Amino acid sequence: MGISGGIFLIALGAMLAFAIRLDPWWIDIDTVGIVLILAGVAVILVTLWYWQDRRRRVVRSWVEENRLSHQTGDGGSQPPIPPDAPPPPSPSG
């Protein structure tokens, strides 16, 4: 919702609580206005807390790239043999 939503709730609640003079039997308009004002203040406080917490938290990530570039005798079409692998079988022919 953000700060603008909180300001909207506060303005709407203030209009209901202080500007409108209706008295329906089934709802208290003044109480609804006060509840909306409090909800707007809560939205603004939560938004400010969230953004302040986000500003303090610094995330640094390091990406390290390590590439092995071995050339084989046939121009690099085969991947290099790992050092602990058994030797390839000799051609019998």
Can you give the pLDDT at residue 9? Answer: 95
pLDDT tens sequence across 37-81: 999 999 999 999 888 866 666 666 666 666 665 555 555 566 666
pTM for this predicted structure: 0.56
Residues 9, 39: Cα–Cα separation, whole Å: 7
What is the residue extent of each domain of the chain?
2-54
Average pLDDT value for the chain: 80
In three state form, how does the secondary structure of 12-44 look?
A: HHHHHHHHCCCCCCCCCHHHHHHHHHHHHHHHH
Can you give the pLDDT at residue 31? Answer: 93
